[in-house]
Structures are given as C-alpha cells and as structure tokens.
Amino acid sequence: MALRYREIADDLRRRMDGGEFPPGSRLPTYDELRVHYATGRGTIGSAVEVLEAEGRVRPLKKVGLTVLAPAEREPLAPDGPLRRDQDGRLGALAWIPLAPPVIERRPADPELAAALAVPAGEPVTVIEIVLARAGQEPGAGGQDCGQVPAALETWHLPGWLAVKDQIAAVQLSPELLEREFARAGHGPVAWSEQTAGRLPAPAEAKALRISERTPLLTFRVRTTSAEGRALSVCETRVSADRFQLQRDLQPRD
C-alpha cells in the first residue's frame, strides 16, 4: 500500500501536469492542502518535499509554493562527461563561467587530504568556478537559460605544487593543467574519475538555485603524476533534475 504522502505527491503532480496548477502559479497553502486531503501538516510537508526534490515546486518566502515546469534532463556521456577542453567545452555541451573563479587557501579535511596525500589540516589551493550552459535559447519570459547556474567546479591543488598563475584563469581545464604539470616536470599525467550522487550542501543549493532536497550528480577527477603522486582533485556537481548519465549499450560478442 502506497504511503499517504506519496499518494498526495502523485495527485498534486497529476494536477500540475493537467494544467490545474501551471508553471509559475502557486499551489494552495499548507493549511488548504491539509484540509483538502484530510491529513496532517507533516504528511503535506513530506509530499511537498517529494515534489521539491523532483524540481516541480519551489518554496519562496512570503510567496508560497511556486510550480515549476518539468525539467528536460540533458544527457551526459559517462566517459569523462565534464572534461573541459581549451575552448571551455564539456563533452558535447558548451559551458561558460558566470564569474571569475574564487581562489583561496583552505585546510584539507581528512577525505581530501587522503586524496591529495597530504596531512589533514594542511593548507591547499582551492579554485571554485560556477558554470552555466552556453548557447541555449531564451526561456519563458525572455530568461537567458545560458545564464542559469548549471554546474559547480572545485579544484584542489596541494600546497607544495608550484604552478603558474594562469591555471587559475577562468578557462581552467584538465588540458591546461596537464600542460602546466608537464612543464613543471610532473608529466605524463593520469586521470581517474569517480561518479556518485548526494544531496547538496546549503551553499551548493544556493549557488545552483535548487532545493537542498534535489540530488546532485558528482564527478571527482583525480590527477596523478607519472610517479603516482597526487597533483589535483577536481569535483564537478550538477543537479540531477537537469542532467542524466547516458550510455549506449552494446551486445556481448
């Protein structure tokens, strides 16, 4: 038997898809929904959380629950989907930075320290970039879809690594780093990638303009030197309601 809050979420989704609550409109208040569905406020809250995680509603202070259009997820190939070339392209998608990168020194937490093979708490260089999709058609109301934050990219470089200032430029990319590592005598380099999913931290949700209940797809790329020494760790995060992993399956021989 379906849980009550999921039944309510399904019904609200059906009503939104049927045009009763079109994109841009507001859902009834919590109290109105509680009376309509003859249930408690907690059950209504759980139903709203489901729709919020799906990217179908967004709670706004002093406004209420705003209805969003269903997202059409863009496909990302699994073999290096977020590798950026020297022209700023990631896979088959074009991306642009929304602002100059934020560069600072921070102490490495235990997980990052292990990945970079440095002591926990040691200062590392952190470069954060917010990316948008480029070249999209304007959305509803003339909104430039290409200027909507679509990805967060964070590079971590160990403190001992001497690199030129240009790697902190807006067009920072694996290819540029590879050239710089080679010039510094660390090449040829190798790349390994891990893909996972998790909920965003509050700062990540704010930067991507998504709910804290909307899952993220995360891609962590670790760069190592020819001797196996860690040179960098880059984590890219995208919203799972905008992007999906896609691959072509081939029959076995």
> Hey, how many other C-beta atoms are within 10 angstroms of the C-beta on 241?
20
Q: What's the confidence (pLDDT) of residue 118?
A: 94
Q: Which of 107, 220, 232, 218 is nearest to 175 (CA)?
A: 232
Residue 156 to residue 12: CA distance in whole angstroms: 43
Helix (H) or strand (E) holding 151: strand 149-158
Tens-level pLDDT at each residue, the chain (253 residues): 468 999 999 999 999 999 999 998 999 999 999 999 999 999 999 999 888 878 788 887 777 889 988 777 777 765 444 444 444 444 545 677 888 888 889 999 999 999 999 999 999 989 898 988 776 543 333 334 447 788 999 989 998 876 555 454 445 666 667 777 777 788 788 888 888 999 999 999 989 988 888 889 998 989 899 888 999 998 999 988 888 887 777 777 6
State both tokens at 133.
């999709």
Residue 123 to residue 108: CA distance in whole angstroms: 6
Select the CATH number that applies to the domain covering 74-245 from these four: 3.40.1410.10, 3.40.109.10, 3.30.565.10, 3.30.750.24.
3.40.1410.10
Show me where the domains of the chain are located: 4-67, 74-245
Under CATH, which architecture does the 4-67 domain have? Orthogonal Bundle (1.10)
